[in-house]
Amino acid sequence: MGTLFRRRVQNKKNDSGEDDERSPAHNKEESRNHIHHQQGLGHKRRRGISGSAKRKGHGEDFDREKDGNGKKRWRDSRRFVFILGAFLGVLLPFSFGAYHVHNSNSDLFEKFVNFDSLRVYLDDWKDVLPQGLASFIDDIQTGNYSTSSLDDLSENFAVGKQLLRDYHIEARHPVVMVPGVISTGIESWGVIGDDECDSSAHFRKRLWGSFYMLRTMVMDKVCWLKHVMLDPETGLDPPNFTLRAAQGFESTDYFIAGYWIWNKVFQNLGVIGYEPNRMTSAAYDWRLAYLDLEKRDRYFTKLKEEIELFHQLSGEKVCLIGHSMGSQIIFYFMKWVEAEGPLYGNGGRGWVDEHIDSFINAAGTLLGAPKAVPALISGEMKDTIQLNALAMYGLEKFFSRSERVKMLQTWGGIPSMLPKGEEVIWGDMHSSSEDALNNNTDTYGNFIRFERNTSDVFNKNLTMKDAINMTLAISPKWLQKRVHEQYTFGYSKTENELRDNELYHRYWSNPMEVPLPEAPHMKIYCIYGVNNPTERAYVYKEENDSSALNLTIDYESKQPVFLTEGDGTVPLVAHSMCHKWAQGASPYNPAGINVTIVEMKHQPDRFDIRGGARSAEHVDILGSAELNDYILKIASGHGDLVESRQLSNLSHWVSQMPFPM
């Protein structure tokens, strides 16, 4: 073969009249090229023969795959494969695009295109296509990928424009929005620092809620921790380090560039006439315990004065919107503003009824969230703090569990998220309201389980009440003291106890311990997501390594985390208080405030990373077309258009819960 190749090359040279005399270097290069080419030919022929043997059996020649003229059969040609691929590549986009046009120009297309026959053809292809493409075809056939009204409303300003067109609504009630935990950006305002960390380099930089945060936590972890951690003893700023919540709409617009939080709400409110003189974002430093917000920043005083100014200038009562922890802040504020005493609002009874038109509780954590418990026990954050995945990945990747626990323990706002209501809401070792939901062999009331006991210290499973007590017992003394001064997690046994608790701020974040304000003209809207698996109970193990945390989630267990119905962060039963209030006048709702409950089914768009217009996930619900529709109707004075809708059995569960009143 090599001799034949050289003869052909030599003949080619002679035919072209080239000079045979070449430089030695050129001859060496030519020789190498000949060898490579020769090896390539041998490899191709061997591969062809081997492939033929596998297909045709031993002893058959490769050339038999060709027809009598020495050509490949048409089905084996590359041209056929290319044409088939091109045909499919054109057919699918055309069918998708034509389907969209068909929706808006049905009379025209029905005359020319039969989409039912197209779907029959697509059925034939589904079994042989990759799973992702087959799923895409399913969506086309079932209409899940059509441009229904909600799909269109995922676009910027779309909800506001539609309501403006259909109902001619316009801005009426001033709007105050209170964001949730960790969703407000926090900036450095210190210029001193210490020997290891110069604060001036971070002046006015966002150390929480920006890419600068990610860069700093990776490049200078120690300095970042010194800035964001609070003083353990005081719960306020550590010496020489000063962080403050960013202000204005930018504080909650985006968490990190491209990851919106309240942006969709701002956009749609803007369409119907809202601007900074008619709405505000009441950002706060969510790291602080609630009364410490007033001690350090006068947060509640500013909020009260801003509401009073809105009311005075517009002549209209204010619409309050709280998301996640923001709903707790609003509930706390409504008790604070009417209470009398130092650091309290001193607004007197009737202030809420006079100034507040409505309270929209969007995915609120009025009764806490189970995820807060593993956060304080073992520093679980990736799935505990439900926000930008990149930021949570940074915290999980570059900080040990021990470092995360120490940081979270200094943040006095985090314990406010611990579940409230004990066995009334969360069940006991024998039963829980949600047990019938999944036909569990065990109860959700068994909140923390130990499958592998290594000592007598943690030798029994724990209910929610037991788990919170254990969390505090293994925490530093300063954290135990702060929690005792700021929060409660139980429930009042009598109406007198419920009333007496209104005098003390430690009860104001717990709606099981204090009643709603006497504001008969105020309206409450509880809007939250369902149909999204949510953490509810955990399997823990005790670590033998003395240098590590004592307790961690047992990820070697068959099922380390038990899931239930919810919005991905807040389980369904955490909304029980809304259903209790909705039963009418009671010790918990003395004025008989009207409560509208709307449960939104989580129906994410598989092609939208944030879930699209139908998402009811805990954070992404703020971009939901349905929630934005409700907000605009309520703020514009058309709250009567918002109808109650319950998709779950929570109202029935609440009627069976052992409330003392």
Q: In three state form, how does the secondary structure of 12-61 look?
A: HHHHHCCCCCCCHHHHHHHHHHHHHHHHHHHHHHHHHHHHHHHHHCCCCC
Query: Average pLDDT, whole number, for the chain?
Result: 83
Which stretches of 363-512 are assigned E, i.e. beta strand? 448-450
Top-confidence range, 34-43, 289-298, 390-399: 289-298
CA distance 427 to 424: 6
pTM of the complete model beyond 0.95: no
Whether residue 98 is predicted with pLDDT greater than 60 in this model: the reply is no
Residues with catalytic annotation?
A: 324, 567, 618
Six-digit token pair at 343?
């650091």
Whether residue 14 is predicted with pLDDT greater than 50 in this model: the reply is no
- Closest C-alpha to 527, from 418, 630, 611, 385: 630
- With H, G, I as helix, E, B as strand and everything else as coil, classify residue 319: strand
Helices (H), 298-400: 299-314, 325-336, 351-355, 372-378, 389-398
Q: What is the mean pLDDT of residues 515-533?
A: 98
Displacement of CA 593 from its chain's centroid (Å)? 31
Whether residue 151 is predicted with pLDDT greater than 90 in this model: the reply is no
Whether residue 145 is predicted with pLDDT greater than 80 in this model: the reply is no
- Give percent of the chain with pLDDT exceeding 90: 64
Q: What is the mean pLDDT of residues 53-80?
A: 49
Q: Using the Cα atoms of residue 283, residue 289, residue 292 and residue 294 in order, give the sign of their dihedral.
A: positive
CA distance 307 to 155: 31
CA distance 495 to 115: 65
What does the pLDDT read at residue 546?
Answer: 55
Split at pLDDT 50, 70, 90, the class of 51 is: very low
Whether residue 638 is predicted with pLDDT greater than 80 in this model: the reply is yes
CA distance 368 to 387: 17
Helix (H) or strand (E) holding 152: helix 149-152
N- to C-terminal Cα distance for the chain?
99
Q: What is the mean pLDDT of residues 224-235?
A: 97
